[in-house]
Structure 1
Amino acid sequence: MTQPLTHFICPLDGHPLHLHGRSWRCENGHSFDVAKQGYVNLLPVQNKRSRDPGDSKAMVQARRDYLEHGYYQPLAQVLTDTVLAHGNQALLDAGCGEGYYLRYLIEQAEQSNVNLNIAALDISKWAVQAAAKKDKRLSWMVASNVSIPLADNSVDTILCVFGFPVEAEFKRVLKPGGRLIMVDPAGDHLQELKAIIYSELKSKNETLPITSSEFELTSEQQVTFPVSLTSNQAIKDLLTMTPHLYRSSAEGREEASKLESLDLTADIWVRVFSY
């Protein structure tokens, strides 16, 4: 059974939050309303680096359309197998996007009779809105990994899928003996697209995403599989959903936008760190 993880703390003073009707409140009177889509915004204005941080509405829509075609299903399966190998657990998705990987995980967990208590956050309100509309069984938050609004020692597993780890906060919310599962691009990820949109490819220097000596790398798996895009729209969605849209040259983007098909290599690290 999937249930929401609700060990929320106030992003303003760190006190526990309790649900009163449709609002989460702390003892100092700070209140955060649950939106009609089913999420709560726990990212105070003073903690935002921009007016609308994170992925834009267009990026979220493109990623949702792309992932729902199943192009990254092999990655979703490896990630799910890695999580469920530890049975019942409390889990935080630290950078959930529009929720594709979590939905896949929940479906497999329920088929396997694994009980999960889940919270998910993203700094993009557009991503969290889209995710919350799809699934009401877990706790969705607009929040940042820089200041995670969960209690100390409250989760067994943290997922960080193509996200930005903040080691101090991850250590704070993880229980002793907990796990951090990091998903990051490997050296050949989308190399065929990069060859089109960049005038010069950067060297493939890879470093571990986690450097703290308190996290021990316990396993790593390189997940490599082909992806065949057979429509111009799928290619545009892929380009729109990634940072390559802003980093690549205008000439490269123009060339990619004209393609009707593209064969790609997905090359991804799935690493597990214990704490």
Structure 2
Amino acid sequence: MRYRILGTTQALRTDGTLVPVGGARLRALLTVLALRPGRTVPVSLLVDEVWDGDSPADATGALQALVGRLRRALGADAVESVEGGYRLATSGDDIDLHRFERLVGDGMRALADGDPAKATAVLDDALALWCGPALADLPDRTAEAARCETRRLDALRARHTAALALGHAEQSLPELTALCDSHPLDEPLQALRLRALRDAGRAAEALAAYEDVRQLLADRLGSDPGAELRALHAELLRHQDERPAEPRPLGNLRARLTSFVGRDDDIEAIRSDLATARLVTLLGPGGAGKTRLSQEAA
């Protein structure tokens, strides 16, 4: 049997078919047990977690009844009675959360060892395990779910670090931008977005994004960007300074799109008049070519 708690709590047979686990409290009980696979969970903790502090008068009896229902759904041997509590008879790798944790660790080690291709594959497998908000069926899931979400964000950062190392900056930018929008004060994420913009040849956008982050940190936290962002900003500025100057148009005349043939006498007359007057006015009917003539003379 395998269990999912990264999203709605589910039990699956080895062939992948779902085992119905009906009832909110039944799913909450399975979630609490799955968080601690193979370990004894005390009765008092199970009662607190499943009933969220509003335990029934006969809490022990109510829990026994709930465990009986869970055994009927999963099999008699799925939940073991042990001294002081109950235990889910399974290994950590049969729980998606624990498998996720293992894969993230493997992916981060591959990244640290200089193998971004392996890191990408492993971290993709880890992130694919998420089917919704973590521990969705746990009544009071705030603290534990926040820890899971933090770990997921760690995995996403590592995944995009690997992508940039593989030269996939352009592909990473949409998700990185969305992540920065939802976590605007996360400086490591912001640094990854700036690097992706730089690597995609969009250094000017990266500089503008840095300024947005700097202003946001000042407004929200009253602080300056950290060392990583500041170093990246300095690197972007150096890159801008080293770029060859682009040729600038002379004056404010429009670029010529076609050649200009004839009317040499008219141009010579304009030049002659300009030698003696500050203002020369061209007169003629509409469409005669006054604008083009004046531009050519200029």
* Structure (1 or 2) with the larger CA radius of gyration: 2
Does the alignment reach a TM-score above 0.5? Answer: no
TM-score normalised to the size of structure 1? 0.25
Report which structure shows greater RCO (CA 8 Å, sep ≥6).
1
The TM-score, its normalising length taken from structure 2, stands at 0.23
Structure having the larger proportion of residues in helix = 2
Give the structure with the larger strand fraction: 1
